């Protein structure tokens, strides 16, 4: 009985850490995006990426927004669940980035403080014919 309570407490603690996400400051995000190869990627400069992520999420990795078509946008780049990620809620999700949008599908979704998967998906999005206009 006691071990089950401890196990539940540990599980809840892990979920809280994953859900908390992170709000980057401008310099910290710029450095992460540059190291990840986004500066100049597909013709989009670092300021393009910084500006887009600011207006989409205010540099906040845990933002989720609902759209009129019942899809949702997730994370720092507001990746859409209809086209790019799977949230388990959006019917007929294409999941082109092959990534979970959020919990409970994975502890490594687009809402955690590790934006590596977000960056990989954003690169996939701009390879689409719409490029940055997808946002």
- Which residue out of 69, 73, 114, 117 is catalytically annotated? 73
pLDDT (tens digit, 9 = 90+) per residue, 74-102? 999 999 999 999 999 998 899 999 999 98
What is the chain's length?
Answer: 135
pLDDT (tens digit, 9 = 90+) per residue, 23-76? 999 999 999 999 999 999 999 999 999 999 999 999 999 999 999 999 999 999
Domain that holds residue 84: 2-134
56 is catalytic: yes
- Which residue out of 56, 112, 117, 118 is catalytically annotated? 56
Please indicate, yes or no, whether the overall pTM of this predicted structure exceeds 0.75: yes
* CB count in 10 Å sphere of residue 8: 10
**The pLDDT value given to residue 109:** 86
Distance between CA atoms of residues 97 and 76, nearest Å: 15
* Tally of domains in the chain: 1
113 is catalytic: no
Q: What is the 3-state secondary structure (H, E, C) of 61-130?
A: CCCEEECCCCCEEECCCCEECCCCCECCCCCCCCCCCCCECCCCCCCCCCCCCCCHHHHHHHHHHHHCCC
Two structure tokens written together for 126: 């701009």
């Amino acid at each position: 009985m006691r071990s089950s309570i401890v196990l539940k407490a540990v599980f809840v603690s892990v979920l809280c850490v994953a859900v908390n996400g992170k709000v980057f400051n401008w310099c910290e995000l710029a450095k992460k995006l540059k190291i990840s190869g986004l500066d100049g990627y597909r013709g989009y400069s670092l300021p393009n990426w910084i500006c887009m992520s600011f207006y989409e999420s205010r540099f906040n990795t845990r933002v989720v927004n609902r759209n009129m078509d019942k899809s949702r946008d997730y994370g720092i780049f507001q990746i859409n669940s209809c086209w790019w990620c799977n949230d388990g809620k959006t019917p007929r999700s294409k999941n082109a980035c092959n990534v979970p949008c959020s919990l409970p599908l994975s502890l490594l979704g687009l809402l955690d403080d590790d934006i590596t998967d977000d960056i990989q998906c954003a690169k996939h999005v701009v390879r689409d014919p719409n490029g940055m206009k997808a946002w």
